[in-house]
Structure 1
């Protein structure tokens, strides 16, 4: 159970990306507030932060040609077995009596080799209409979770490396000024 550093999402291999979607769906559903040492920080932030992070994952899945159940794009959706979130004006979670859905449902491949394909009719707004801009992921450098700092990025890269997945070269190609994995010598 882990949320990868958000800068790694576009670089994650298929298995880790789809696993991240399942993890986010589980956390948004019945896992919300259940302690686990690698994701406890998530519960210190408003539920909207998890939704924004999950949107990054879902957007990357769609970019690669996966279909995401449009229900998950509704910020308040928590799965078939959980009531929808109802904002209380303070950013806190209050369970309502809204839509129901499965905590682990949510994606299927559009075709065997359709990486980066266009998806006609893709619903980026969710089932309830327009998603407020404040809930959408920012393309800027500011992380959704402040815990996703450079030290956490290094921890995630080390965890992936232990699984024989080395994303450091891809990360360095994408963000050369960050200096991850390199040290300057005079």
Structure 2
């Protein structure tokens, strides 16, 4: 699992963009709080930040003609098998959404993509 640096979302190829949507869905649902070395930092913040990130992914998907389930536009929604949040305090959006998404992380993401043969 990986959350790409948000500066790359608009540049991601189809496969990576759709994969990012699936990963966001998994993290927002039953994956919330389950350790994974590349995304553990998201659990240090409100799930609302993950919603904000996911919203950017879904916005780009819609721009490209994809139709993510509109249920995911609700920050309380956690998928078909996880109970919705009863409440979730809204968090002011920052850029980057996650402070871990700094310039070093951006370069790491670009290198990861280059290793897959994707030049951005």
TM-score for both structures, normalised by structure 1: 0.62
Superposition deviation, residue 87 in structure 1: 2.9
Structure 2: distance between partners of 1:56 and 1:45: 17
Q: CA RMSD in A?
A: 1.5
Structure 1: distance between partners of 2:37 and 2:60: 26
Q: 1:143-182, CA deviations, whole angstroms, 9 ceiling, x for partnerless residues?
A: 0000000000000000000000010xxxxxxxxxxxxxxx
**Higher Cα Rg: structure 1 or 2?**
1
Q: After superposition, where does 1:34-113 map in structure 2 within 5 Å? A: 34-87=34-87, 91=89
Q: 1:72-127, CA deviations, whole angstroms, 9 ceiling, x for partnerless residues?
A: 11110001110001336xx5xxxxxxxxxxxxxxxxxxxxxxxxxxxxxxxxxxxx
Structure 1: distance between partners of 2:86 and 2:113: 36
Q: Which has the higher contact order (CA 8 A, sep 6+)?
A: 2
2:102 to 149, 152, 156: 149
Higher helix share: 2
After TM superposition, the runs of 4+ consecutive aligned structure 1 residues lying more than 3 A away are: none
Q: What is the aligned length?
A: 120
Superposition deviation, residue 68 in structure 1: 1.1
Which residue of the partner structure matches residue 159 of structure 1? Answer: 112
